[in-house]
A and B are shown apart, each in its own frame.
Chain A
Amino acid sequence: MNRERTIEVSVGIFVAAGLAALFMLAMKVSNLSALGERGGYTLTARFENVGGLKVRSPVRIGGVRVGHVTAIDYDMQNYEAIVTLVVDRRYDRLPEDTSASIYTAGLLGEQFIGLEPGGSESFLGDGGEIVQTQSALVLENLIGHFLYSKAAEGS
């Protein structure tokens, strides 16, 4: 009976440890804790070039993560990329003239969308569009420009 009890207890500990590990993977390791964002509202923004932006790339305001990219499409009518992003409900007072830019974290880091609030009195709602956008800086183009201008200076 005693042996039986030890077995039962150890199996209980094992199952609990396994579930705790799963829980940790879900809560601490993955973005489950950011799932609240799914209760956020959707915005769209058009860019000429999204560079290395991906679905799930973060959206930040002043460096603070407020949402993420949910879809990237290409509009064949206007030849622009359309980025759909979700912003957490808590940050629902974004002025209408907020601008969006694509930045790179560090020289080689991931790309993200940075929002800069404007001064308008009315705010963006669900499905709203951010009109003022600035495309990603493409490193190759930048270097190319730099080299051309240097070459032009030299001649």
Chain B
Amino acid sequence: MIGGWLQSLGHSGLCFFVRLGRSALFMGRVAAGLPSLLPLPRLLVRELHSVGVLSMAIIVLSGLSVGMVLGLQMYNTLVDFGTEESLGPVVALSLVRELGPVLTALLFAGRAGSALTAEIGLMKATDQLSVMEMMAVDPLKRVVAPRFLAGFLSLPLLAAIFSAVGILGSYFVGVGLLGVDDGAFWSQMQSKVDLQEDVINGVIKSVVFGWVCSWIAVFEGYDAVPTTEGVSRATTRTVVHSAFAVLGLDFVLTALMFGD
């Protein structure tokens, strides 16, 4: 009984390492294919459109609502201590350091990552990748690399938009509706939020998340079992694994950056 359980644990552990190794090799090959994109900016622009532009709506809406809710809730707590001017720094710090990168990455995995996986997986299932190989065109360079790069570049931009819109949302609620002082809102924010410590660290987080989420998405698509079921499973795995990876990495990065 215990033996069987151990065996299955060992087996799944082995599978995990096999997949991790395969995805790392895959990542290396994709990275090697990135320079070949230079003469083909069109490819990247098309993918930036489907990965970045089409994610804008959900990012702006979520950022706005998260900022407004944060503004409202924080105000209710802060006003008891008479420090409602701290609304600016509290909201800005939580958005810039944590919520911006993390929520954007989770939304990105759901909106763009799953679409990337499904697209690549379906291209594989319908032999489009094979046909490319038979035409002596490397699908890693032609299909996977631009999608990976687009995801990698889009996420930090989306995260910045999320944070900025969120801060504007809390400004709207705090200053516009609840009557926090306009000047204090911004000046307190500026005195508490450090460019390097907070903003740049937040951007570094979103860059890491962009890399991991795009990596997972293109790998799952490329590695998908080329059937309808296989692709749908791969899509689910993309979202789940991205979420785990983002939350886990966020803890590690937070500990590294702000852990003193």
B162 to nearest A CB, angstroms?
Answer: 8
Chain A's closest residue to B156 (CB) is: A18
Would you call A71 an interface residue if the criterion is a C-beta within 8 Å of the partner chain's C-beta atoms? Answer: no
Contact across chains for B195 and A31 when beta carbons are under 8 A apart: yes
Chain A's closest residue to B91 (CB) is: A29
CB within 8 Å of A: which B150-175 residues: 154, 156-158, 160-161, 163-165, 167
Chain A residues with CB under 8 A of B49: 7, 10-11, 14
Stretch at the interface among B183-191, B221-229, B243-251: B183-191
Cα A83 to Cα B249 in complex, Å, equals 36
Contact across chains for A19 and B157 when beta carbons are under 8 A apart: yes
Would you call A56 an interface residue if the criterion is a C-beta within 8 Å of the partner chain's C-beta atoms? Answer: yes
Contact across chains for A18 and B157 when beta carbons are under 8 A apart: yes
A92 to nearest B CB, angstroms?
Answer: 22
Contact across chains for A34 and B52 when beta carbons are under 8 A apart: no
Cα A34 to Cα B92 in complex, Å, equals 17
Number of A positions contacting B (CB below 8 A): 31
Residue from the set B82, B92, B199 with the largest chain A CB neighbour count within 10 Å = B199
Contact across chains for A29 and B92 when beta carbons are under 8 A apart: yes
Contact across chains for B190 and A18 when beta carbons are under 8 A apart: no
Chain A's closest residue to B186 (CB) is: A28
Cα A128 to Cα B92 in complex, Å, equals 36
Would you call B46 an interface residue if the criterion is a C-beta within 8 Å of the partner chain's C-beta atoms? Answer: yes
Contact across chains for B189 and A29 when beta carbons are under 8 A apart: yes
Cα A109 to Cα B82 in complex, Å, equals 10
Taken residue by residue from 40 to 54, chain B's Cβ proximity to chain A (1 for < 8 Å, 0 otherwise) reads as 001001101100110
Cα A30 to Cα B83 in complex, Å, equals 20
Contact across chains for A30 and B195 when beta carbons are under 8 A apart: yes
Contact across chains for A65 and B191 when beta carbons are under 8 A apart: yes
Cα A19 to Cα B81 in complex, Å, equals 37
Contact across chains for B96 and A18 when beta carbons are under 8 A apart: no
Contact across chains for A25 and B164 when beta carbons are under 8 A apart: yes
| A21 and B190 in contact, given A8-B45, A15-B157 (Cβ under 8 angstroms) | no
Selected contact of A11 from candidates B52, B160, B167, B193, CB within 8 Å: B52
Contact across chains for B199 and A14 when beta carbons are under 8 A apart: no
CB within 8 Å of B: which A84-121 residues: 106, 108-109
Chain A's closest residue to B161 (CB) is: A21
Contact across chains for A26 and B199 when beta carbons are under 8 A apart: yes
CB within 8 Å of A: which B2-60 residues: 42, 45-46, 48-49, 52-53, 56
Cα A10 to Cα B46 in complex, Å, equals 10
Would you call B194 an interface residue if the criterion is a C-beta within 8 Å of the partner chain's C-beta atoms? Answer: yes
Contact across chains for A56 and B194 when beta carbons are under 8 A apart: yes
Would you call B98 an interface residue if the criterion is a C-beta within 8 Å of the partner chain's C-beta atoms? Answer: no
Chain B residues with CB under 8 A of A106: 82-83
Query: 23 A-B contacts, Cβ less than 8 Å apart?
Result: A7-B46, A11-B48, A11-B49, A14-B48, A14-B154, A15-B48, A15-B52, A17-B157, A21-B160, A21-B165, A22-B160, A22-B203, A25-B202, A29-B92, A29-B199, A30-B96, A30-B194, A31-B194, A33-B190, A34-B190, A35-B195, A106-B82, A108-B83
A7-B45, A29-B167, A108-B83 given; name 4 further pairs at CB < 8 Å.
Answer: A8-B45, A29-B164, A30-B195, A108-B81
A residues in contact (CB < 8 Å) with B: 4, 7-8, 10-11, 13-15, 17-22, 24-26, 28-35, 56, 58, 65, 106, 108-109
B residues in contact (CB < 8 Å) with A: 42, 45-46, 48-49, 52-53, 56, 81-83, 92, 96, 154, 156-158, 160-161, 163-165, 167, 186, 189-191, 193-195, 198-199, 202-203
